[in-house]
Amino acid sequence: MTSPLSVSPQLNNPWWFVFLERCFAVMALLLFLPVILVLMLIVKFESPGPALFVQERIGRYARRPFRFAKLRTMYTDSTTRFPDLCAYSFSKDEVGEVKLSLKVDPRVTPFGNWLRRTSLDELPNFWHVIVGDMALVGPRPEMWKMLQYYDSRTLQKFDVLPGITGYAQIYGRGDLTFDETVEHDLAYIREKSVRTDLLVLFRTVWCTIARKGAF
């Protein structure tokens, strides 16, 4: 699947920053690997199904899909049990005010809820940084079914690699509406620099500890 995204200027980080990013991701993944394995066992023990949730997400330029992985936080049968919550079907008028993250979500397991509040479910994301599908900082990887709600202006958020964290994650995260999230992502595109990325990373540490908008 491809989008009518026009060619836009390259928004690449310097090669040395990309190299440092990937080195950091390797070290982080090795450091947290024992934690990830323990969490995977708990996920498997709590509810039937795989320990990892894997889904095809939109990559850079909305033309490079990749298999996105994180620790599973939902029941595997949530699609059949809660079809309305999983459909992501909205009118053009209502989608802008929609909050895709619910504070009380019946699809999420008790342990999955804790994983989300601590952001530990995202630890496998470091692998995507290592292989080049994601960066440390950038808009969160979008689901394909949400691409229909973007227009020629908002499609600019795909001009950079998706990231583990970004403006939307440090300025509201789950408290943001769809439109607010996209606008934060576009603001990041306009202000992108090595300095910006470093500031986002430092602020992410604080937001993760404070659990702001994490649910």
Residue 205 maps to a domain:
yes
Residue 98 maps to a domain:
yes
pTM: 0.90
Distances in whole angstroms, Cα of residue 198 to Cα of each of 46, 77, 125, 138: 37, 39, 18, 12
Q: Which domain holds residue 168?
A: 15-210
Residue 64 maps to a domain:
yes
Residue 215 maps to a domain:
no
* Structure-token match 């001009």, residue found: 159
pLDDT digits (tens, 9 = 90+) for 77-130: 999 999 988 888 898 888 999 888 888 999 999 999 999 999 999 999 999 999
Give the total number of structural domains in the chain.
1
* Structure-token match 């999420």, residue found: 108
pLDDT digits (tens, 9 = 90+) for 28-74: 999 999 999 999 999 999 999 999 999 999 999 877 799 999 999 99
Distances in whole angstroms, Cα of residue 149 to Cα of each of 99, 104, 166, 210: 14, 25, 20, 31
